[in-house]
């Protein structure tokens, strides 16, 4: 089974233009993500998908692989779907380009169900959500059924605690693995009602009947969304013993 890890990255992020190339201890952010993906050991190939030649040049400069994609994609999944049109694989793994702290073992945990169960069409991971993040809408939560498939994702703390909670709130970690079929269908489906309300593209898959297998994994301390988060991430990398 051929597995392709794809890292969508673009220079034109509204809140932080140019963030894939921000310097983190002597490396651009996209390189940290790329190297974690390579260390996961699950992909036959790791590829950065970007609409920007500048990113392609930097990735190739550190010895990585990159591919140019269109500028008009609304989501990272749309960008990966374009890659799927050009490069044949059985499984595609979406590793967000703004997660320089992502752990290789989390990427492996996301991908494992695709190799273990041929009926699984899509997979992701979760970690335990700290109580102080319950009401932060940037932190996505997920509830699962008894087989470990997602029932729903929300920016609210779900399930609602009318009674005492009997299990931890699950925090969604933004990694995805898809089989080729659902990934190719995604861009042809209109944006769904729940996706529009929550601003969560994975709900489009669920509204079209694609079940998402959820596995426990490790969340990252911080993804980079804003310039003021860069120094915090640098400090976390230093604390891990990482260097330039």
Residue 199 has pLDDT above 50, yes or no: yes
Q: What is the pLDDT of residue 41?
A: 92
The structural domain count of the chain equals: 1
The boundaries of the domain holding residue 47 are 3-126+170-239
* pLDDT surpassing 80 at residue 221: no
- Res 29: pLDDT: 95
Inside any domain, residue 132: no
Q: Work out the pLDDT band at 14, boundaries 50, 70, 90.
A: confident
Does 81 reside within a domain? yes
Is the pLDDT at 196 greater than 80, yes or no? Answer: yes
CATH classification at residue 12: 3.90.550.10
> Do β-strands 122-128 and 170-179 pair in parallel, antiparallel, or remain unpaired?
antiparallel
Does 243 have pLDDT greater than 70? Answer: no
Q: Please, which residues have CB within 8 angstroms of residue 182's CB and are 6 or more apart in sequence?
A: 121, 122, 205, 210
pLDDT digits (tens, 9 = 90+) for 118-132: 999 999 999 999 999
Cα 214 from Cα 173, distance rounded (Å): 10
56 domain residue, yes or no: yes
Instruction: Find the mean pLDDT for residues 38-58.
Output: 95
The pLDDT assigned to 192 comes to: 93
* 216 domain-assigned: yes
Residue 138 within a domain? no
pLDDT classification of 58: cutoffs 50, 70, 90: very high
Answer yes or no: pTM beyond 0.85: yes
Which tokens hold the place of 162? 């009318």
Average pLDDT estimate for 153-174: 93
Above 50 in pLDDT, residue 137? yes
Residue of 82, 39, 11, 20 whose CA lies nearest to 230: 20
The yes-or-no verdict on residue 10 having pLDDT over 70 is yes
As a whole number, the mean pLDDT across the chain is 93
Convert the pLDDT of each residue in 61-107 to its tens digit: 999 999 999 999 988 999 999 999 999 999 999 999 989 999 999 99
pLDDT, residue 244, reads 45
Q: Does the structure show a pLDDT above 70 at 115?
A: yes
Strands 212-216 and 122-128: parallel
pLDDT, residue 91, reads 97
């Amino acid at each position: 089974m051929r597995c392709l890890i794809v890292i969508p990255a673009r220079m034109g992020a509204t809140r932080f233009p140019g963030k894939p190339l921000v310097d983190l201890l002597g490396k651009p952010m996209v390189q940290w993500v790329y190297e974690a993906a390579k260390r996961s050991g699950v992909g036959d190939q790791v590829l950065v998908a970007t609409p920007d030649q500048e990113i392609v040049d930097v990735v190739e400069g550190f010895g990585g692989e990159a591919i140019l994609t269109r500028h008009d994609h609304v989501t990272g999944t749309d960008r990966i779907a374009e890659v799927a049109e050009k490069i044949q694989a059985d499984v595609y793994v979406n590793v967000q380009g703004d997660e320089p702290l992502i752990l290789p073992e989390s990427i492996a945990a996301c991908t494992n169900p695709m190799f273990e169960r041929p009926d699984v069409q899509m997979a992701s991971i979760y970690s335990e959500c700290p109580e102080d993040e319950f009401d932060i809408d940037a932190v996505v939560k997920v509830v699962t059924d008894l087989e470990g498939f997602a029932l729903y994702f929300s920016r609210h703390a779900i399930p609602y605690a009318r009674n005492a909670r009997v299990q931890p709130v699950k925090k969604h970690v933004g990694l995805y693995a898809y089989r080729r079929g659902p990934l190719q269908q995604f861009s042809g489906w209109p944006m769904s009602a729940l996706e529009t309300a929550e601003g969560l593209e994975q709900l489009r898959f669920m509204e079209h009947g694609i079940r998402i297998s959820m596995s426990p994994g490790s969340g990252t301390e911080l993804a980079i969304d804003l310039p003021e988060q860069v120094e915090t991430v640098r400090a976390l990398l230093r604390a891990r013993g990482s260097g330039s």
